[in-house]
Structure 1
Amino acid sequence: MIHNVGGIDRVLRILVGLVLLGLAATDTVGWWGWLGLVPLATGIIGWCPPYQLLGFNTCALKK
């Protein structure tokens, strides 16, 4: 699988995902906090389906 999510983007996705999951687990936010699984998974995997469809790539260019 080709990676299309780069360094800073990956870190931000993982952090946002963890924060949302933490808020959902403590019942601070509603059920939508469990949607934090999506940015967490895309950050860990390094591939984002919408990026693929739209042609985005935040990975560093290979020389």
Structure 2
Amino acid sequence: MTVNVGTIDRLLRAALGVALLLLAFVSSLPLFDGGFVKYAAALIGVVMIVTAAIRMCPIYSIFGIKTCRM
């Protein structure tokens, strides 16, 4: 696994992941009352947090994108 996620990208991914998890499980917005939107937001939030933690994005690897300095 090659590191391809930089620091700023990592922070943004982590913040977006936490925000999506909070919206999915803590928010009382009507959009997140339904099952599909709620669990889709939770799944995307978990993926964002995991990619921020391991500093590797599979989609970046496919397209050859690197946001980190080497």
TM over 0.5: yes
Structure richer in helix, relative to its length: 2
The match for 1:33 is 41
Return the offset for 1:2.
1.3
Q: Once the two structures are aligned, what percentage of the paired residues are identical?
A: 39
Structure of higher CA gyration radius: 2
Q: Please, what is the CA RMSD of the aligned residues?
A: 1.2
The equivalent residue for 2:13 is: 13
- Which runs of 4 or more aligned residues in structure 1 lie more than 6 Å from their structure 2 counterparts after TM superposition? none
How many angstroms does 1:31 deviate by? Answer: 2.3
Tell me the residue number matched to 2:23.
23
Report Cα offsets for 1:2-47 as digits up to 9, x if no partner.
1000000000000000000011112542222212111111011100
**Alignment partners' CA distance in 2, 1:25 and 1:9:** 24
CA–CA separation in structure 2 for the residues paired with 1:33 and 1:41:
14
What's the TM-score once normalised by structure 1's chain length? 0.86
